[in-house]
Amino acid sequence: MERVLVIDDDRFLQKIVRNTLKESYEVHAADNGDQGLLEAKKWHPNAILLDVEMPGMNGFEVCDALKLDELTANIPVIFISASSSLRERLMSYEVGAEDYVVKPFEKEILKAKVDHAVLEHSKQQALSTQSDLAQKTAQDAIMSSAELGKAIRFVSSTYILPTVDMLAPSVFKVMSDLGLKTSMALYGADSIRYYNFTGGDISPLEKELLDMMRDQGRFCDFGSRTVCNFSHVSLLIKNMPLENMEKYGRIKDTVPFILNAVDEKMRALNTQKVILEQAESLARSTEAVQATLLSITDSASKTHEGITQVMRSLTDDFEARLPSMGLEDDQEKYIVDRVDLAFSESLACLSEGENLKESLGGVVRLLSHLVNQQNDIVASSDQGVPSTEDGDQEDFSNDVELF
């Protein structure tokens, strides 16, 4: 039931007002201005009926005090006065009254004025509540948009970060922008790296918490701390805003969006590391094969020259010594023919060796090309972030300006 406060030193008038309004309102009365002000702050009525002429503070002074106090400023005031003068009506309006009733009054008129004042007060309260809610909704939307903008800019910037150690400060920067104090574990291809937002070492207990909670689901909440897990990153948030559940919910939405980008970047860096290691291993293996083939071709070339020289020496020796050996003509012819045949066959084999040498030379040239390609891949991967003409690393973090 709505409440009406009567501030009047006339007890008979108080009784009339109480009887008039008792079926629709709970009515309290105060005999003077000071008592009325205290009762208004304590009881929070929906309307106040205020006499103009009272001992001590008059009605205008009481109304002025009510309107200056934040607790009572919005309570509608209806003046009750024996005077119907324009001056008193203007003074009533000037101190913030909503209505004016002249004594003696009809009960129906008094009730109608009170009903109207209470109804308007209820409407104003509802509008004020809606306005506060709309303002809060707008503020939440602005905050959410700003946080989402920070997250999107972070995701955009991660594409150009070449190392894990450059990724960590970027994560802490966006978390700091969200008002969060954090520690983090990044899981590489063959190692785990721990980071603290202060730049110092992470505590042993925080390391244990991150490791033990890694397989406990996406979120692990304990008090004002929360651990958020992905395959290649675990983040410990140390100051979740438990007093502000709207912000708490936004963080629970925004942080996974950021960490998903971190997780994908870590996956890419791990894959890149494996590829580079394979490229370096292939380059070393290719260089070893190249050296072996060069050795084989060199050896084949020397063998070819040695065999040719031996066969020519043998032929020359036979030609010089056969006449003095006293052989029959047919025997001499047989030996010469056999030596010529062996020499011809040796030359044929040596020709095949030359062909093999040429083939091995082609393989060596191909392997040399592959080695150069692998070295170029390794060199280009080591260059890191694209640079400007003056050698400084180019900053793309502000390219995305959505909010």
Q: Which CATH architecture has domain 144-272?
A: 2-Layer Sandwich (3.30)
Pairing mode, if any, of strands 192-196 and 182-187? antiparallel
Torsion of CA 101, 104, 105, 111, to 10 degrees: 80
Residue range(s) occupied by CATH 3.40.50.2300 in the chain: 3-131
Are the beta carbons of 75 and 105 closer than 8 angstroms?
Answer: no
Which parts of the chain sit beneath pLDDT 70?
A: 128-148, 279, 286, 290, 300, 322, 326-327, 347, 349-361, 364, 367, 370-371, 374-403
Closest listed residue to residue 300, CA positions, set 364, 344, 253, 228: 364
* Tokens describing residue 270: 């791990």
The b-or-e profile of 329-366 (16+ CB within 10 A means b, else e) is eeeeeeeeeebeeebeeeeeebeeeeeebeebeeebee
pLDDT of residue 136: 55
Q: What element of type H or E holds 259?
A: helix 245-321
Structure tokens at 249: 């919910």
Give me the CATH topology for the region 273-381.
Helix Hairpins (1.10.287)
Q: What is the pLDDT of residue 322?
A: 67
Alpha carbons 336 and 319: distance in angstroms, whole number: 8
Non-local (6+) Cβ contacts of 182 within 8 A are 171, 172, 175, 197, 235, 236, 237, 238
DSSP string, 173-219: HHHHHTT--EEEEEE-SS-EEEEETTSSPPPHHHHHHHHHTTTS-SE
End-to-end CA distance of the chain: 48
From edge to edge, which strands make up the β-sheet containing 99-102? 26-30, 3-7, 47-51, 77-81, 99-102
**Residue spans in the chain of domains classed CATH 1.10.287:** 273-381
* Residues in CB range of 390: below 8 A, 6 or more apart: none
Structure tokens at 121: 């007060």
Report the amino acid identity of residue 138: A
Helix (H, G, I), strand (E, B) or coil at 48: strand
Residue range(s) in the chain whose domain bears CATH number 3.30.450.40: 144-272
According to CATH, the superfamily of the domain at 3-131 is Response regulator (3.40.50.2300)
